[in-house]
Amino acid sequence: MMWCQRTDLAAEAWRLWRESAGETSSLPGVRAREGRLGDFPVTEVEILDRTGREALGKPEGRYVTVDLRPYFADRAGKFSAAAEAVAAALAELLPEEGEVFVAGLGNRAMTPDAIGPLTVEHLLVTRHLAEVLPGFRPVSAAAAGVLGTTGLESAEWVEGLARRCGAGAVVAVDALAARETDRLCTAVQLSDTGLVPGSGVGNHRKALSRETLGVPVLSVGVPTVVEAATLAADLLGSGASSALRERGRDLFVTPREVDARVADLGRLLGAAITMATQKGLSAEDALALLE
């Protein structure tokens, strides 16, 4: 049986397919391109139909991955540029008008899963300020926690709150799993396909999507873990035994500096979503309003 390496990143799934089929092969049902947003490499993968969906194992839609490694090489000098790059990618996927509800998914008590709640802490919410900030787009947000601490599926509380506030779009922020260790906490994937909470660690819950919520659902995800079996396959290649691969399915690896990285990314994503929803704000403006 062919070994399937786990990844939530469409860019990695596309590259895995190319590795297996040959670099010059084209994949029917998938359109991919590589470019840049300022200093940051960007890979866009668009899954067009059933053929592409089955080949990459992802829903049809657009996936934009922004490589933030240049930012982590110069945090002080590139924060604004990094936030602007992510904001530009997200703004292309957002509807032009309407209230936006931002859902910070994940468990605040587990650092690799805390990216969603931390992002909400650094987000400019404006729904309650319509009278004093008439030029701002209404944005609301929540980070309710996970099923084990709330008794609620993420899809339940997101749907209830989004409907209650009349949101025209939902932005769901969550942690993901990657195939390559050098992508951990250094990439952001933005998609118009929604997401399945917990899928990064194989704990699939009810999907958050246009079909389940009735409005466009955009996802903002950061890979914070890699499956141990996938890591073993990458490091050992054919030398990784089937027993090692099987036992590694329930183990996940995260970077040593994950605490600092996740805290940093929560601040960056909060600023980026603020800029994407409030056109005309710079990163400095967003930080000044938030801090």
pLDDT score of 3: 43
105-118: pLDDT as tens digits:
999 889 999 999 99
Distance of alpha carbon 212 from alpha carbon 201, whole angstroms: 22
Per-residue pLDDT at 243 exceeds 80: no
Domains, the chain, ordered by start: 10-290 (3.40.50.1450)
List residues bridging with 42 in a β-sheet: 35, 66
What's the pTM value of the predicted model, to 2 decimals?
0.89
DSSP-assigned letter for residue 138: P
Distance of alpha carbon 143 from alpha carbon 115, whole angstroms: 10
How many C-alpha atoms does 82 have within 13 Å on its Cβ side?
A: 24
- What is the identity of the amino acid at 19? E
Which stretches of 28-170 are DSSP H helices? 50-56, 69-73, 75-93, 115-121, 147-150, 154-165
Per-residue pLDDT at 151 exceeds 90: no
78-96: pLDDT as tens digits:
999 999 999 999 999 999 9
Rg, C-alpha atoms of the chain? 19
35, containing H or E segment: strand 30-37
